[in-house]
Amino acid sequence: MGAIELSTTVLKSYNLTLCEGKAVIRNQNRINGLIGVRNSLIPEEYHNLLAKATFIGNMVNESIVWTTDVFEDIPSRLSDLSGEDFTRYFGILQEALQSYANAFQNAEDRVKQLLYAAITYSSKDSVYCANNKVVITEWGMSKRGDFAPIGMPISIDDMILDHNSTSNETQISDEDTRDNSGIVAHDNFGNSAVINAVATVTDTTLSEGQITETASSNSGSAGNTTNRTEDSGKMKKNKWWHWLLASLLAAAIISACLLGKGCSSSSVMLVSPDIDSTQVVLSKDSLRYVVNNRLLLLITKDGVTIDDFAKSFRQRYNDGKKYILSNPDTLIRRVTLTLPSEERDEFEEKLPNEFAEFGLVVIPETMYKSSYQPNDPELRDANKRWYFDECSVFDAWNVTMGSEDVVVAVIDDGFDLNHSELKGKIVKLYNAVYHSMNVMPSPSGHGTHVAATAIGNADNSTGISGIAPKCKLMPIQVGDAQGNMTTSAILDAVIYAINNGADVVNMSLGMSFGPFVQFAPVYIQKNFRANMFLQEEHVWNHLFNIARQNNVTFVLAGGNENCLIGLDPMQRSENVIKVSAVQPDKQKASFSNYGDMSTVSAPGVRIFNAIPGNRYTFMDGTSMAAPIVAGGCALLKSNDPGLSVAELAQILRQTGNPSTSDVGPIVDFAKALNVEYCDADECSKINERYNELLAELEKLRKNHPGCI
């Protein structure tokens, strides 16, 4: 056909990705040259992957016309395809990106940095398909307000370099970095970073055999993760997290394979297909919302791997387009199965028997929701600081405002990391949905509000503050582009936090229940809690036990259904702190969950703090109560890094103020920080002496009934 025009892009609607201070799209000739010298390493059918960009107009109304000469027939957008055509071309796109990643694996850092920034696509609208070839337009840019562009798979070594970088603060908002051409800086990760925030893990495939080969070179395992480094109690020098990254981010050692080319039948996609909102339905038992075309498969038998299972699975179900295995995790040996929704119930019932040799446990892909109800100068406003007063935060600050050595991880839907309350605090950010370092704000602003409530900056002459303003933040995003939060993403986030040195982890999210559960009498709820979701309960208990062994404290929002805490299986572990919400009169908030599993409570009504865009607002919910407690735990750990989750819970309960409702004591951080507590041996002696005195008093009462 010769050269054809594909589309035109108006630049004022886009953010252009920077590399070394220049928009990568304006480095087109250099990029083509770098690709050209490596064409021999790239299959011929993937040459000319990037469309040619021709700039037109002026600086005010500048546009790009995209052209290509690779197609023989008129191409279609990837977003316009469906069924087998979509699957085939999406696979070709992934294979092409993987081929380019392999070709540049050994390039010098500056070259890799530029190419990872350039070889991206902003959406499926920008990918054109025909004749078993794909061409990308709008590369090196993304639409304003969208997530960062998707690109080549990230190599393990490059990801580790970013996590060890001495400068992990990221600038992702266009407010501070915009110039007249609409360019946004995405590459502010420090000089040692190789791939930067624009480099994203794509939906690629890998063989578990390749994962385990890499993982076996590391000495860590789930069974020997109990020791923390002596100086700070963190795992920064522990190689176990390398093992985890190897399992999640092994894209760089993957052969270029998807549609059967050089690929074993056991291939497993690294990232699951996006969730179709029409597939989110109420479960058959009406207890919760699930993804109707997904199942989580867990292997419980010793001596077998995900690779073994994938090979066995493909022998029975060889249609890789119909039955997609994805998102593998070798710590708990889990993989996600995407399948036709009409077959989901049948597979959930029959797979454990068909694969009995793997001890296969099949659980639904459950939907989670944020536990909130929509609704420094500000510290002078009593209405906005009331939760500081209620929890005696200002008196607690006379002891400590937190330590930079204490890291609070927040697992939530998304974050505005350029907000003034969060600037300068970011370490080891992570997107657990796309297995990348692209962390972006969510439309709800929930994650930003939660993070700022826990550790927001103080003394910055704006807004308000967090409970532990001197501590660091590890933001871990579990919401996808539509805000969906699923079991698989949250599991990955929990594992990441444990393995990357978090001291305290806040989870202001929970299972989304159907109305039948919410309005059931308490005795029925207790029956549900004792008998439902037991497989998920086992998984969460296992992970939180690993967290306890590594002295990582998890703080969970109790939920907003006005029902018992613990209906959500994530909340049943004894190794986490569960938080209910109270209102200013110290009564349980009307929406808050309650009951004997409520560890403590904290203010959860009209909590004022940050939302994206350097703005502030009030929010209600146990989502707001939990980060108050997480911040308090960070203060306590700043004062004594060795405190365990059991000790923290005990201190907070013993020093908390009573509520007349069926919730845990209301936290008082000043009392908690000033409490005199003893070690286990001393406590044992005190308890022994206490019991002796009780026995003596009882003896006196019996011998002298008229006196006592």
Q: Which residues have a catalytic role annotated?
A: 412, 446, 623
E-only strand ranges, 153-304: 183-184, 205-206, 268-269, 280-282, 289-299
- Going by their DSSP bridges, the two strands 22-23 and 4-10 should be labelled as unpaired
Does residue 439 contact residue 477 with C-beta atoms inside 8 Å? yes
> If you search the block for the tokens 């530029």, which residue do you land on?
114
Q: How far apart are CA 406 and CA 472, in angstroms?
A: 6
Q: How far apart are CA 170 and CA 161, in angstroms?
A: 15
Does residue 401 contact residue 469 with C-beta atoms inside 8 Å? yes
Angle between helices 534-549 and 645-655 in degrees, nearest 10: 100
Does residue 292 contact residue 280 with C-beta atoms inside 8 Å? yes
Q: How many residues does the chain have?
A: 708
Angle between helices 109-118 and 28-36 in degrees, nearest 10: 110
Q: How many helices (H) and strands (E) does the chain have?
A: 19, 30
DSSP string computed for 498-512: HHTT-SEEEE-EEE-
> If you search the block for the tokens 């886009």, which residue do you land on?
14
Q: Environment class of residue 303 by beta-carbon count within 10 Å: exposed (0-12), middle (13-18) or buried (19+)?
A: exposed
Q: At a CB cut-off of 8 Å and minimum separation 6, what does 667 contact?
A: 391, 600, 601, 602, 628, 629, 632, 652, 655, 656
For residue 525, give the H/E element and its range. helix 522-531
For residue 496, give the H/E element and its range. helix 487-499
The phi, psi pair for 288, rounded to 5°, reads -160, 170
| SS3 at position 330 | coil
630 closest CA partner among 474, 423, 463, 496 = 474
The 10 Å Cβ neighbour count of residue 647 is 16
| SS3 at position 318 | coil
Structure tokens given for 671: 């009392």
Q: How far apart are CA 406 and CA 501, in angstroms?
A: 9
Does residue 503 contact residue 637 with C-beta atoms inside 8 Å? yes
Structure tokens given for 700: 């006196």
